[in-house]
Every structure is written in structure tokens, then in C-alpha cells.
Amino acid sequence: MKSKLFILILFLFVHNFCTAQDSAVVLDTSMFDANFQVINLNAKDGWIFRKGNDTNWAGKDISTTDWKKFNPTELSIKNADRNGRVECWFSIRFRLDGSFKNQTVGIQMGRWAATDIYIDGRQILSSGNTGLNGKPYEENRMNLIII
């Protein structure tokens, strides 16, 4: 009896652990801002963060166990190094529901920082220059990218 109870508790624990893994944020058109047709992803839960820079972190199936839950809106001077710079990665998993059928979808970048964006491990765009290409850092000067 005790072994059956142990197995049941173990199953429930493992099941809860597996369902607690990173899940995608589901976006739908009802989430659009009242004044503009945009969804602010910065404010959504589901972001994870890691200091440093390693392009291997762009991979689709990387381990994020040592990343921490942290929204881009929480980034502050406290995260800067002694030179006042922050080099880090943010990641969020999202998917669009069926309400986006026949709609053009884009990414609007409102930050000044240089940014590289990856989808499913593939770099789709850069705004500014993060130094990934060996050239010096340059702030973001782009605003709207349609993909």
C-alpha cells in the first residue's frame, strides 16, 4: 500500500513539474491596445532573462533552467556593469491564435538599445548593431519591422 501511495505522489509531482515548464503565451486580437493595433509584449508574463551573450542561446530547444523570470520592463541601472552597460538575452515563447487569420503581423521596436531578434533559433532581424557581426555597438534606429 505504501509503495502504491509513493508512486501516486511521485506521479503527481512529476506531472506538475512537467506542466510547469515554460509554456507559450497565447496572443489574440482582443489583446490589442484600445488606441492602436498593437500588443505590448514587454508587459506580458512569460519572459525569461540571462545576463551575458552567447549566440547558442538563440537555439529553439535550449535549456533555460538557469535563466530567471524577468520582464524587459524590469531592466534598470541595477543590471548594468561598472561601465553602465547591460548585455543580456530575453526570451519569450508565444503563439498567435486563430483570430489573427488574414492579418499582417509585425514587430515594433520602441527601445533605443541594439537588438537581435530570433524566431525558432533563426535570426530574423537586427536593429542597431549588437556587435554580432564584429562591428562596434550602435543604438537602434529602426522602428517598425514587418515579418
For residue 19, what pLDDT band results from cuts at 50, 70 and 90? Answer: very low
Q: What is the pTM of this model?
A: 0.72
- Which residues are bridge partners to 118 per DSSP? 123
Residue with cell 542561446: 57
Write the DSSP symbol of residue 17: H
133: CB partners within 8 A, 6+ apart: none
Residue-wise pLDDT tens digits, 22-60: 588 999 999 998 888 889 888 889 999 999 888 889 888
User: Cell triple for residue 100?
Assistant: 489573427
Residue-wise pLDDT tens digits, 63-92: 999 999 999 989 999 999 998 888 899 999
